[in-house]
Structure formats: structure tokens, C-alpha cells
Chains A and B, each alone.
Chain A
Amino acid sequence: MKKIVAILLVTVLVLALAACGTQPSGGGAPAPDKGASDTIKIGYVGDLTGPTALWGTAGKYGAEMAVKEINAAGGVLDGKMLELVPMDGKGEAADSVSAFKKLVEEHKIVAEIGTNFSSCNIPMASVADQVKVPIIGTAASNELVTIDESGKLHPYSFRMCFIDSYLGTVIGNYAYDNLKLEKAALFTIAGQTNSESVGKFIKDAFEGKGGKIVADEQGQEGDVDFRAQLTNIKKAEPDVIFIVMNDYAKTATFAKQARELGIKALMMGHDGWDSAQLAGEANGALEDCLYVSRIGFNSPEAKAFGEKIAKEYNIGMEAECLFGYDGVMWIVDAIKRAGSADPTAVRDALEGTDVFKGLIGTLVMDPKTHNPSMACAVYKCTGDAFNYVETIEAQK
């Protein structure tokens, strides 16, 4: 009897796990190569199951929506249908690289969208050059995503965001020039490429203007208690704390712990704060605090699209869905201009993009670096939400 119960339990568990494992993927991931000639396949790699799945799935939904729109309007290149093939990169470099390889080898994609992490797109860029299939990073803002360490361009790697140095510089300048702040503390995550790199450029810009970094503290990936470092920051009495973390839940925890320690300084952040949940999660600890990021949902088209996605997929409005959508649209634009769905021709057309107007705003491509220049926006926390305050025009 016991054995039967045990066998039943195991069966139920296995079935339950199997059920959890098979996620519906709107674009579908059919058997490799089937009907490759009738459809043009676009790959998507994002974190679909890990701690940042909120962004990865939002990006996927955005891309799905774009594919649906293009197909409903008759497809591209004389009626060829588009097909999105999403793969889980888990937000990890190794998983993202193998997901991309699988998309190229098994699904013969024309181009790939994602991820939103520099740490994943840097290794993916070298692979893209080898297999000669273009990739488009979304929020992957480290310089090494498109240019290797020796300063050579990755010809097949593109991005749809401004680079770390650009945003870091904008934040540092804005804090000093517009907010008239002079003493700042900096908090970054050791070993996290984006965090360290944005932090460095904030510091350079702020100090370059004449400001002083009075505390420069670091945490570790996976840390949840920041009070040891915060106590040091408190002692340095900064006017502003730059929190450069890419996880909204931890940024909220950081802010709450800061207020619990009696720190009253303004807190500022970068695009890692871009989450609808941050303000509520911080539960008042980030009141009046600011971050600088993309213009996001502050154009009427983007807002309408975000609301549509949120309603259709029952999720919050995450800016990543705009990238997913624009990524597909940009590739389609390139395919049309190239008159071909050959990956190399698409790459040439992407590089030759003069101006691409998408939901994320106007993107002006620099063919030498593949780094677009874009305007950005300042957001302020009021109650349970961050609200758009003003636009900072594109800076050199």
C-alpha cells in the first residue's frame, strides 16, 4: 500500500513539474527547419524564468505583438510571415550564449533580439561575429557589447540603448549642474559589469564638475543586507547616494535600510530602477528620489502600447516590452531596406540605419561604434510611483 502511495506521489510530482516546465511561448518554438523557406525567423533571448524574468518576459511579449502586427499586415518581402522563436537565457551569460547558438543552428534565425544584460551580450557578441547573425541588445549598455577590449567593432552586435558611459555621465552632470549637489556617496555591486561601469562614469562626471565622492561602497551579488556599508555612508554625510543596482527589490531593500539607519540624503539611480514595482516596494523610503533612464512610456504611442501589453498579458508595464517591439520593427525595417532576409544583408542594413523611429524614441545609429545616441528622462518618486519630470536632451 505504502509503495503504491509513493509511486502515485512521484507520478503526480513528475506530472506537476512537467506541466510547470512547458510554458506557452506565443511565437511558438516548432521543430527546427520546418517551413524555413516560407517564414522568416527572428530569435529572442531573455530571462524567462530567473530572478529578472519580469523584464525578459515583458520583452518577449513586446516582440510577439510586433510579429503579430507585421503578419496581420501581410508579412514582409512579398508576403513571407515572421516567426518569433523565444529562448530562455536565464539572465546568465552561459545560458544566453547557448540559447543564441541554438537559435542559429537549429532555427536558422535571421537576427536575434536581447538580452537586456551586458554580462550576457558581451560573450554573445563574439559568437554573433563567428556565426554571422546580427544580435540586438536591448538595455545592454556596457561599451564592450559592441566594441571588444582592443577597441575593434563587433560587426554583428547592435544595441537599442545608450551606453553606460552616456547614462553615467548624464546622471553625474545632472546631479551637480541641475540639482546643485556637491557631496555624493556611490554604491555599486562588485563584479557586476553594468553596475561598476555606470558607477565609474557617474563618479568621473560628478568629480569632473567639481563634486566630491565622499563614500564609495560596494556590495556583493546576492547581498540582501546593506547596513554595514550604509553606516559608513551615513558617517560621510553625503547630499546624494547614487545606488547603481540592477534589481529593483534590492534597491528597495537598500533604501528602506538607509532610512531605518536615519539617512535622509536624496537617492539617485540609473535605468536599473526602471520597474513599476520599485516605488511601492520601497514603501516610502524613496519618496522624492530620482532616477535617469530612457523616455519609456512617456510618449503617447509608447504609453498606449504598454497599456495594451499589460492588459493582454496581465502584467505590469515594463519598459522592456518596448525594446522587444522595436527590436522586431527595426529588423523588419532592415529586411525591407536590404530586400533580403539574409543575416549578413540584414546586418549591413542595421548598420546603415540613419534614423529609426520607434516606441523607445528616436534612435540615431553611429556605424563606427553601433552606439545610438538618445535623449533621456528624469523620474521622481511620489507615493507608489515614479513620475516623469523632465527630458535631458542628447549629450555628447
Chain B
Amino acid sequence: MLLQQLITGISVGGIFALLATGYSLIYSLLDFSNWSHGEFAMVGAYVAIVFSNLLGLPFLVAAAAGVAGGAAISFLCERTTYRRIRSNGAPNMFLMIAAMGLSNVLQQAANLIFSGQYRSYAFRLPVTTIQIGNSYIGVLDIISLCITAVVLVLLIYIINKTKFGLNVRAIASNSYAARVLGVRVDRTIAMVFLLAGSLAGVAGVLYGMKYNVFPTMGNVGLKAFIASVIGGLGSVPGAIVGAVLLGIIETLVSAYISSSLRDFFSFALLIVLLLVKPSGLFGVDVQDKA
């Protein structure tokens, strides 16, 4: 049974990971937690709903549109809000407050447009499962984990092996120096928002397939944020490890202690970690962000 709980934990953590890396990417560049990141996933999920259920397009097209939707809303928030605040020279706290506002606006807008109803994609995978010894894993979970893994490997490759990734790391390390050396800082930041938004879009579509689409689904972003703090804010690999760890912890607490204590454990862990090892498991210092 423990193996079954671990499988569940990893599957829960996979979704956290897609979002947590987004938090980390933005944090590494701008030193603020983008509280509206969970809502980017929600927007992506609803875009996919519109394409699949209202326009009747094939699900793969709808899913791609969902990913694009997440990217677009993320990019739009950067261009219309965050960039303006930065160029005004306002403190980072302002970015965080703006992000909270955006999160609320997006959630309420979804509520107004789509109502609070739970919605599911017209496309439905049959409920099939694969048995491994005494444990089972759903086919949807396998697909979702594979997509997550591929996306995250791709992300790590982009950050570490491409010129764009080098620019990101340069800005994360010292944005002033990067600018002096010819890195186009605003452009790179906008690209990172696109990237983080598309990751959120992937998370939103997968989350919607597993658990339905609803306006408050972006609240899962809070868990992803905790995951990224556990891993070390600003570290992409840290965020992934933190997310899987958190997924497993939450599942084990629900199973063996009580589901009512699940959030208590998650947040207590966050507080303890901030007291004992504020830099997170992967202990990122300023030089190694992203």
C-alpha cells in the first residue's frame, strides 16, 4: 500500500512541479513571487475548454491552445503590469501586491464568464489503469507524468544549454551587469514569462483533465509556491524536487494521519524550513539562481 501512496504522491507532485518551476523562474529573475501564476494555469485550462467544448476542435488542438493561452496571459500580465511597475523603479513589494490583485481579477473574471461550475473536457480518456504488483496507476497519470517529465527536461535544457538560458542566468545573477554586457533584459524577462506561462498552461490542461476545470483551480499555485520554497526559491531543479516531495508528504499525511491535517503539515513544513534553512533544500545563493 505504501508503494501505491508513493505513486499517488508523485502524480500529485507532478502538477505542483510544472507550476513550481514557473514560480522559480520568475523569482530568479525579478526577486518576487508571482502570486497570479496559479491563475495562469486556470486561464490555460479555460482556453482549452473553449476550444474543445465550445468550438468543437480536436482535443490536441484545444490543449495546444490552452498552453498558448497560459503563455499569452502570463506575457500580457508582464507587459501591462509588471514591466510598468519595474520601470517606475517601485520596490519589489509592489510587484507582489500587483500579482495578488491580478490573481483575484483573473479568478473573478473566470467566475463571471464561466460561472463557478466544474467543467470537464468533451474529450474523455477511458478510465483505464495499469497494474504493477499490488499497485495501480491510471493511464491518464502515466501520460500526464510523461508530459511533465518531457517538459521539465526541456526546460532544464533551455536554461542550461541555450543562449537564451545563458541570458536568463546572467540576469538572475546580476541584471545590471547583464544589461551592460548587452543582454536585452526586458525582452528576456518577457520571454521567461512566456515560458513560465506555457508551463502553467500545460499544468492547467493536465489538472483540468484529471480534476475538472473551475475558477478556483489556480489555488493549487499556493502548494506549488510552497514546493518551490522547499526546493529553494529560484532553483528550477529544486522546485521539481520540492514539488514531488510535497506531493508525497501530502498524500502520506492524508492516508496515514488525516486529510484535515494535510495543509497543516504543508504549511508547518514551510515555516520550519524558513526558520532552519531559508534557502531551501537546494540552497541557492544569488550566483546560482535559475
Question: A: which residues have CB within 8 A of B?
Answer: 17, 20-21, 49-54, 190, 217-220, 222-225, 227-229, 231-232, 234-235, 247, 249-250, 253, 256-257, 259-262, 281, 283-285
**Inter-subunit contact A231/B129 (CB<8 Å):** no
The minimal Cβ–Cβ distance linking B15 to chain A, given in whole angstroms, is 9
Q: Say yes or no for B157: interface residue by CB 8 A criterion.
A: no
The minimal Cβ–Cβ distance linking B75 to chain A, given in whole angstroms, is 15
Task: Return chain A residues, CB-CB under 8 Å to B211.
Answer: 224-225, 253
Task: Return chain B residues, CB-CB under 8 Å to A52.
Answer: 116
Task: Return chain B residues, CB-CB under 8 Å to A261.
Answer: 4, 129, 136
Q: Say yes or no for B141: interface residue by CB 8 A criterion.
A: yes
CB-nearest residue of chain B relative to A91?
Answer: B116
Measured in the bound complex, the distance between the Cα atoms of B5 and A227 in whole Å is 8
Give the residues from 67 to 115 in chain B that come closer than 8 angstroms, CB to CB, to chain A. Answer: 109, 111-113, 115
Measured in the bound complex, the distance between the Cα atoms of B263 and A190 in whole Å is 14
**Inter-subunit contact B255/A249 (CB<8 Å):** no
**Inter-subunit contact B254/A228 (CB<8 Å):** yes
Of A49, A219, A231, A260, which is within 8 A of B138 by CB?
A: A260
Q: Say yes or no for B187: interface residue by CB 8 A criterion.
A: no
Q: Say yes or no for B162: interface residue by CB 8 A criterion.
A: no
The minimal Cβ–Cβ distance linking A236 to chain B, given in whole angstroms, is 11
Measured in the bound complex, the distance between the Cα atoms of B250 and A227 in whole Å is 11
**Inter-subunit contact B118/A218 (CB<8 Å):** no
Measured in the bound complex, the distance between the Cα atoms of B119 and A249 in whole Å is 8
Q: Say yes or no for B180: interface residue by CB 8 A criterion.
A: no
Q: Mark B113-127, 1 if CB is under 8 A from A, else 0.
A: 101111010001011
CB-nearest residue of chain B relative to A189?
Answer: B259
Which of A17, A249, A281 has its CB near the most chain B CB atoms (within 10 A)? A249
Give the residues from 146 to 184 in chain B that come closer than 8 angstroms, CB to CB, to chain A. Answer: none
The minimal Cβ–Cβ distance linking B9 to chain A, given in whole angstroms, is 8
**Inter-subunit contact B136/A260 (CB<8 Å):** yes
**Inter-subunit contact A218/B117 (CB<8 Å):** no
Task: Return chain B residues, CB-CB under 8 Å to A229.
Answer: 254-255, 259
**Inter-subunit contact A228/B251 (CB<8 Å):** yes
Of B11, B126, B212, which is within 8 A of A284 by CB?
A: B126
Known: A49-B111, A225-B8. 13 other contacts (CB 8 A): A51-B214, A53-B116, A53-B117, A190-B259, A217-B259, A218-B258, A220-B262, A223-B259, A227-B251, A228-B254, A231-B255, A247-B118, A262-B136
Give the residues from 205 to 248 in chain B that come closer than 8 angstroms, CB to CB, to chain A. Answer: 210-212, 214, 216, 219
Of A217, A224, A231, which is within 8 A of B212 by CB?
A: A224
**Inter-subunit contact A218/B260 (CB<8 Å):** yes
Q: Say yes or no for B1: interface residue by CB 8 A criterion.
A: yes
CB-nearest residue of chain B relative to A9?
Answer: B80
**Inter-subunit contact B120/A249 (CB<8 Å):** yes
**Inter-subunit contact B1/A231 (CB<8 Å):** yes
**Inter-subunit contact A262/B131 (CB<8 Å):** yes
User: Given known contacts A223-B259, A231-B1, A260-B136, is B129 in contact with A283 (CB within 8 Å)?
Assistant: no
The minimal Cβ–Cβ distance linking B144 to chain A, given in whole angstroms, is 12
CB-nearest residue of chain A relative to B7?
Answer: A227
Which of A51, A235, A259, A283 has its CB near the most chain B CB atoms (within 10 A)? A51
**Inter-subunit contact B260/A190 (CB<8 Å):** yes
User: Given known contacts A219-B259, A227-B8, A231-B8, is B116 in contact with A283 (CB within 8 Å)?
Assistant: no
Which of B5, B115, B126, B219 has its CB near the most chain A CB atoms (within 10 A)? B115
**Inter-subunit contact B8/A284 (CB<8 Å):** no
Task: Return chain B residues, CB-CB under 8 Å to A262.
Answer: 129, 131, 136
15 pairs of residues in contact across A and B, judged by CB atoms under 8 Å: A17-B112, A49-B115, A50-B115, A190-B259, A220-B260, A222-B216, A225-B8, A228-B259, A229-B254, A232-B1, A257-B138, A259-B127, A260-B138, A261-B129, A281-B120
CB-nearest residue of chain A relative to B3?
Answer: A231
Task: Return chain A residues, CB-CB under 8 Å to B137.
Answer: 260
User: Given known contacts A51-B214, A253-B211, is B252 in contact with A228 (CB within 8 Å)?
Assistant: yes
The minimal Cβ–Cβ distance linking A389 to chain B, given in whole angstroms, is 23
**Inter-subunit contact B4/A283 (CB<8 Å):** no
Task: Return chain A residues, CB-CB under 8 Å to B11.
Answer: 227
Task: Return chain B residues, CB-CB under 8 Å to A217.
Answer: 259
CB-nearest residue of chain B relative to A262?
Answer: B136
Q: Say yes or no for B49: interface residue by CB 8 A criterion.
A: no
Task: Return chain B residues, CB-CB under 8 Å to A20.
Answer: 112-113
Task: Return chain B residues, CB-CB under 8 Å to A54.
Answer: 117
Measured in the bound complex, the distance between the Cα atoms of B4 and A235 in whole Å is 11
**Inter-subunit contact A260/B127 (CB<8 Å):** yes
Q: Say yes or no for B20: interface residue by CB 8 A criterion.
A: no
User: Given known contacts A249-B212, A261-B129, is B112 in contact with A21 (CB within 8 Å)?
Assistant: yes
Measured in the bound complex, the distance between the Cα atoms of B255 and A227 in whole Å is 8
CB-nearest residue of chain A relative to B262?
Answer: A220
Q: Say yes or no for B12: interface residue by CB 8 A criterion.
A: yes
**Inter-subunit contact B127/A231 (CB<8 Å):** no
